């Protein structure tokens, strides 16, 4: 899962992004509305955490521009937590609204809930080929055996299982499983898939589709 955190408080934005990475997500940051809108239109995010009071393009305007164009779900943040504020944000096209200050655990839970509301909807626990994956708990098993998977292995497995048999290209895996600092010419995806296959064991469940990508 890939998330964009847009907040003019640089320390808060980096702290949120760092926490999301610990939770196994790829996270980018933007410190104003212009940068947030640009990143959101260029990259394929699952969820955008959007502060309402942004310099440059106001968060309300960013939300309105993205609501009809971006695939990502939008979670708006603001220090103003009245009912009118929440209704206003949702009417702009936001999918959820969280007033500041907030508990980080609640933020993570809301992000995961929004990501599951993609098209088509993704169930909270994924199953395929004897594998069970609970992204929220960051836990995976195969035929009842616990799998010791690293953050990127979990991310790739989640993307492949959520695709439900669709071929997922290496480019898509890199874009949605790594942040913007990833080298597009690296072998990170290939190496991660290789490690994941080894840990999943036999019979093999990840298929390589020539010149297309991978699928379960």
The string of pLDDT tens digits covering residues 149-167 is: 999 999 999 999 998 899 9
Mean pLDDT, the chain, integer: 89
Beta bridge partners of 122: none
Angle between helices 151-162 and 188-200 (to 10 degrees): 80
0.85 cut: is pTM over it? no
Is there a contact between 106 and 77 (Cβ–Cβ < 8 Å)?
no
DSSP code for 168: B
Angle between helices 170-177 and 188-200 (to 10 degrees): 90
The domains of the chain, with CATH numbers, are: 2-116 (3.40.50.2300), 126-215 (1.10.10.10)
Residue 148 burial (CB < 10 Å; 0-12/13-18/19+)? exposed
Strand ranges inside the chain, DSSP E: 2-6, 26-30, 47-51, 73-78, 96-99, 126-128, 131-134, 139-142, 145-146, 207-209, 213-215
The string of pLDDT tens digits covering residues 109-158 is: 999 999 887 656 677 899 998 999 998 888 999 999 999 999 999 999 99
Measured CA to CA, the distance from residue 17 to residue 48 in angstroms comes to 12
């Amino acid at each position: 899962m890939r998330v964009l955190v847009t907040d003019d408080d640089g320390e808060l934005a980096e702290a949120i992004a760092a926490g999301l990475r610990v939770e196994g997500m790829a996270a980018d940051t933007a410190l104003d509305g212009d940068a947030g809108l640009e990143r959101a239109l260029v990259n394929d995010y699952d969820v955008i955490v959007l502060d309402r009071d942004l310099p440059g393009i106001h968060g309300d305007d960013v939300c309105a521009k993205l609501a009809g164009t971006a695939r990502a779900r939008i979670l708006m943040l603001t220090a103003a937590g009245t009912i009118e504020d929440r209704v206003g944000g949702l009417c702009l096209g936001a999918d959820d609204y969280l007033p500041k200050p907030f508990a980080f655990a609640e933020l993570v839970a809301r992000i995961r809930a929004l990501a599951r509301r993609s098209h088509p909807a993704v169930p909270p626990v994924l199953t395929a080929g004897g594998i069970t994956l609970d992204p929220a708990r960051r836990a995976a098993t195969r035929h009842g055996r616990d799998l010791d998977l690293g953050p990127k292995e979990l991310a790739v497995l989640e993307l492949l299982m959520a695709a439900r048999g669709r071929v997922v290209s290496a480019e898509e895996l890199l874009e949605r499983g790594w942040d913007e600092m990833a080298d597009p010419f690296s072998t990170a995806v290939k190496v991660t898939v290789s490690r994941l296959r080894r840990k999943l064991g036999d019979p093999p469940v990840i298929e390589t589709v020539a010149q297309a990508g991978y699928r379960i």
